[in-house]
Amino acid sequence: MKINCLKGVQDILPEQMAQWNYLHSLAHEIFACYGYKQIIIPIIEESALFTRSIGQETDIVEKEMYTFVDRGMRKIALRPEATASVVRAYLEHGLDKTGDSKLFYSGPMFRGEKPQAGRNRQFYQIGIEALGTYSPFLDAEVIKLAVDYLKAIGLKDFKLLINSVGNTKDKHDFGNSLKNFLKDKQADLCASCKSRYERNILRILDCKSRNCKKLLEHAPIILDNLSEESTRHFTILKNSLDVLKVAYQIIPYLVRGLDYYTNTVFEITHEKLGAQNTILAGGRYNNLIADLGGQAAGAVGFACGVERLLLAMQAEGIEFQKKAEPAVFVIGLGDKAYMKTFTIADQLRQQGIISYIDFQERSLKAQMRLANKLNCAYVLILGDNELASHNIQLKNMRDSTQQLVRLDNLVNHLNQEFKK
């Protein structure tokens, strides 16, 4: 029986690779300008890392995390996100001491969610974490970096939404006032919110159900209930975004699905995507470093969903220009010539030139078609005459011009052509 890819999991095919790599190298380039250094963290971690950081009572940990017990009876999880792992690595290797406190990563994450457009069970994120600082200016810099990246991709129809959930005490106090406000409305909440009421009250603010939204109409607003210190943090953030000319919308109901956020939370949504329209999300998490055993220090970061970036590019009609590869296809007409092209291709590859030859005794026409499909910039054709005179025909696939080139000058000649 044929075995297919699992549900909610995708292959990333060769034809998508150029665009995929472009999105990643653009991120490397722009993130580097802001001082971020790359880190590769493992795909598996002890489950406890995520239950302790993301929170036991969150959807990610409670419903979505892929976990298993290994042969050593260790509880292992496939990472559902990278922030906790980056903080773990930062503490484990004392990166604060080497000055490597701005880190970026990319790679697959795993969540057992209901698959739909823009929601997969294995999906890819590109993200950053800036560790060790409480400054609200850093929040603004992180957000500017996210916006710079999306703009560099060519995206236009996106919106930045910001909010503050305050410090731990603010969150706790506000949770209590919200509980009070909803006390006699509990019975009318949706099933998820009924359980959120006890376990994760702030998440009720984020509920998409129309009825829950209505019940919340006159609910207290978190921004009106922040401590002086948290209000100041948010004010500096807004002012510095203004200075950097970054447009934002304040959404008092914006809370994120992970417990570790404090103060700043933000999302970037794309107007042309459907229900799954958040392409990038992040915020500040001032407790996580201490929660994972480090000395108390602030941190802020974001993660961007690569599949959703691709959907957004498609929705905006951003064409990704596939460049013709500086590759050649070498065709030998007849056995003797074929034997020679076998060595010519080998020599070209030694000089770093991408070279293809045929292995299925295709006709000249079929080989030309294949060269075209492979996006080769040139075809080299060797027949008996060329073989005898130590030449080869060079056909330019873009303009269909053809010329005779001496075999002993071929590499040189091709390198000149590639420069054009």
Considering only the stretches 97-105, 170-178, 277-285, 325-333, report the one whose residues sit in contact with ligand ATP under the rule CB under 6 A.
Answer: 277-285
If you compute the radius of gyration of the chain from its CA atoms, what whole number of angstroms results? Answer: 28
Q: Which is nearer to ligand ATP, 276 or 396 (CB)?
A: 276
How long, in residues, is the chain?
420
Q: Does 284 bind ligand ATP (CB under 6 A)?
A: no
Q: Which is nearer to ligand ATP, 237 or 281 (CB)?
A: 281
Considering only the stretches 133-141, 169-177, 183-191, 301-309, report the one whose residues sit in contact with ligand ATP under the rule CB under 6 A.
Answer: 301-309
Give the whole-angstrom CA distance, residue 380 versus residue 355: 10
To ligand ATP, the closest distance from the beta carbon of 230 in angstroms equals 21
Cα dist from 200 to 146, 176, 220, 313, whole Å: 28, 11, 16, 35
Give the whole-angstrom CA distance, residue 32 versus residue 102: 10
Q: Does 270 bind ligand ATP (CB under 6 A)?
A: no
Size of the site for ligand ATP (CB under 6 A): 19
To ligand ATP, the closest distance from the beta carbon of 116 in angstroms equals 9
Q: Does 113 bind ligand ATP (CB under 6 A)?
A: yes
Give the whole-angstrom CA distance, residue 273 versus residue 255: 20
Residues 352-411 touching ligand ATP, rule: CB under 6 A, are none
Q: Does 307 bind ligand ATP (CB under 6 A)?
A: yes
Cα dist from 358 to 256, 335, 340, whole Å: 54, 12, 13
To ligand ATP, the closest distance from the beta carbon of 280 in angstroms equals 6
To ligand ATP, the closest distance from the beta carbon of 251 in angstroms equals 13
Amino acid at 406: R
Q: Which is nearer to ligand ATP, 155 or 387 (CB)?
A: 155
Q: Does 279 bind ligand ATP (CB under 6 A)?
A: yes
To ligand ATP, the closest distance from the beta carbon of 123 in angstroms equals 3
Q: Find the residue with minimal CB distance to ligand ATP.
A: 305
Considering only the stretches 35-43, 93-101, 110-118, 376-384, report the one whose residues sit in contact with ligand ATP under the rule CB under 6 A.
Answer: 110-118
| CA angle at 201 for the pair 198 and 204, rounded to the nearest 5° | 120
Q: Does 206 bind ligand ATP (CB under 6 A)?
A: no
Amino acid at 180: N
To ligand ATP, the closest distance from the beta carbon of 79 in angstroms equals 11
Q: Does 257 bind ligand ATP (CB under 6 A)?
A: yes
Q: Which is nearer to ligand ATP, 205 or 303 (CB)?
A: 303
Cα dist from 113 to 117, 191, 279, 393, whole Å: 12, 18, 17, 56
Q: Does 81 bind ligand ATP (CB under 6 A)?
A: yes
Q: Does 174 bind ligand ATP (CB under 6 A)?
A: no
Chain-centroid distance of CA 101 in Å reads 20
Binding ligand ATP (rule: CB under 6 A), the pick from 135, 192, 278, 375 is 278
Considering only the stretches 181-189, 300-308, 354-362, 368-376, report the one whose residues sit in contact with ligand ATP under the rule CB under 6 A.
Answer: 300-308
Amino acid at 309: L
Contacts of 312 (CB under 8 A, 6+ apart): 155, 157, 158, 270, 272, 273, 279
Q: Does 177 bind ligand ATP (CB under 6 A)?
A: no
Alpha helix locations (H) across 293-383? Answer: 306-315, 335-350, 364-373
Give the whole-angstrom CA distance, residue 30 versus residue 146: 9
Amino acid at 188: D
Contact (CB, 8 A) for 330 and 344: yes
Q: Does 281 bind ligand ATP (CB under 6 A)?
A: yes
Residue with tokens 């699992």: 6
Of 50, 55, 61, 125, whose CA–CA distance to 87 is shortest?
50
To ligand ATP, the closest distance from the beta carbon of 298 in angstroms equals 19
To ligand ATP, the closest distance from the beta carbon of 113 in angstroms equals 5
DSSP string, 173-219: HHHHHHHHHHGGGGGGS-HHHHHHHHH-GGGGGG---HHHHHHTTT-
Q: Does 107 bind ligand ATP (CB under 6 A)?
A: no
Residues 114-153 touching ligand ATP, rule: CB under 6 A, are 118-120, 123, 125
Q: Which is nearer to ligand ATP, 12 or 354 (CB)?
A: 12
Binding region for ligand ATP (CB under 6 A): 81, 111, 113, 118-120, 123, 125, 256-257, 276, 278-281, 303, 305, 307-308
